[in-house]
Structure 1
Amino acid sequence: MRLIIKHLYLHLLLLTTFSFSISESDSNLINSFIFRRGTYSGEGTFYAVGLGACGQVNNNEQMVAALPAQQFDHLTSKKACGSTAVVERGGKHVTVKIIDRCAGCQLGDIDLSPAAFQELASPKEGRVHVIYTLHL
């Protein structure tokens, strides 16, 4: 792990100092690190929970969520399904289980079950800024 972090640090240092192309394998390493270990900032929304991309039927009262398609697909359902995320807004937080893929979400967004959304905001708000940390 230290080697990956050192490798990532050197690439980021070089990117801020020089302009050049990085190889596809280095790009994959950086993307993999970012998608796995990041804290994300974006829009929190809610949706009607049912049969999700992980193949399980869940309901609106459970603390569950859907990741953006780009992120879910990068991780593969094997890694994404069942992972957890701690979602925060204005001093409130909720821990959710990842059970679905959100086709309409941008990287940084997260689509929550109605119950999870209500832990952070009123459903009348509909869309709120959140920060979440993904735990694989």
Structure 2
Amino acid sequence: MTLKTICNREVLIVGKNDTVPEAARLMREHHAGDVVIVEERDGLRFPVGIVTDRDIVIELIAKEVDIHSVTVGDVMCQDIVLAKEEDDVDETIKIMRHKGIRRLPVVDQAGALVGIVTLDDLIDLIAEQLKDLAGLIARQQDLEKKYR
């Protein structure tokens, strides 16, 4: 299974010069834990960074930085890890585990942002697969009782 089939296509985006309070309001409004920072080129959005709610708390609030004095570009993780739509889900999980990241922007062949995959998305997927497997066991037991 590829990321193309499971990634969330609704990505919260901001520009480098947007303020941290703007990003935080956007996250709160959409009940999300991150915003992807993009640069627009030729009508396409290319991810250049990411800011999470945890970044805001640990890097700004805990250090008593005036959040109105910095932009998301100042705070964003610039060493952004990206996934491609064609990437395999299992391999993506391994990369996320190895890198210690919970959110991964997904790009197309041109490198333009098309979605995001999160730890929560992957847990939901695996839980659904486990539910299907458990249903298979129950179904097999029911058939065995019926025919034996």
Shorter-normalised TM range: under 0.3
Give 1 or 2: higher helix fraction. Answer: 2
Give 1 or 2: higher strand fraction. Answer: 1
TM-score by length of 2: 0.23
